[in-house]
Amino acid sequence: MSLNVNEKEKDDPNYRYKMPKPELEYQGKNQNTYTIIKNMKKFADLFGHPSYCILKNIAGKGSRFDIKNNSIKGTLSYNDVLNRLYDYINHYILCPKCLKPELELKVIKNYLSCECHACSAITKLNHDNKYKKKITKDLIDWINKNGNIKRNINVQVKTNDELSFDDLFE
Ligand SMILES: [Zn+2]
């Protein structure tokens, strides 16, 4: 079973952009519990984003996390993880204009910006939240080092012969 990348489209079976459900495992006990996101790499590959940025967003402010095994300190429920994953998606994966996950992330004049390959909008990704600013800074550093983040989400898009009749006329 897969999920729709845009939470707002979650009930649409024909929505094209799919992602796996987070697979969680819990380790440790008492004060030392960890939540491991077992398929973190899949999300990183799918979105083309560094996994530590996604993990950092899921961990949240003040939480310890370890990128070696994609673990977060504490016991996070499936819904906690999913909501924070969607929060990341809403901020960094979906186009602010058309809400399609077709963004190429780049740095323009030291700002994290995105160019949408669906609607062509170029938007500055500005976030007021302090914690988001840190993640934004991480993404800027990563892009400066590795180049633009191209959307890889297309790997999950249905091929033409799987498109429904309605898809062809949208
Ligand atoms: Zn767009």
Domains recognised in the chain with CATH numbers = 17-158 (3.30.30.170)
And the tokens for 168? 């062809």
**Residue 34 Cα, ligand 1 centroid: separation in angstroms?**
37
**Residue 26 Cα, ligand 1 centroid: separation in angstroms?**
37
How far is 81 from 101, CA to CA, in rounded Å?
A: 20
**Residue 77 Cα, ligand 1 centroid: separation in angstroms?**
32
**Residue 59 Cα, ligand 1 centroid: separation in angstroms?**
28
Which residue in 94, 87, 139 sits closest to 119, CA to CA? 94
Q: What is the pLDDT of residues 41-84, one digit of tens each?
A: 999 999 999 999 999 999 999 899 999 999 999 999 999 999 99
For 108, other C-beta atoms within 10 Å of its C-beta total 11
**Residue 123 Cα, ligand 1 centroid: separation in angstroms?**
9
Residue pair 55/40 in contact (Cβ under 8 Å)? The answer is yes
How far is 108 from 127, CA to CA, in rounded Å?
A: 16
Query: The tokens 């191209």 sit on which residue?
Result: 150
How far is 43 from 46, CA to CA, in rounded Å?
A: 5
**Residue 150 Cα, ligand 1 centroid: separation in angstroms?**
14
pLDDT of residue 1: 74
pLDDT of residue 96: 95
pLDDT of residue 166: 43
- pLDDT tens for the chain, 170 residues long, are 789 999 999 999 889 899 999 999 999 998 899 999 999 999 999 999 999 999 999 999 989 999 999 999 999 999 999 999 999 999 999 999 999 999 999 999 999 999 999 999 999 998 889 999 999 999 999 999 999 998 765 544 444 444 444 444 44
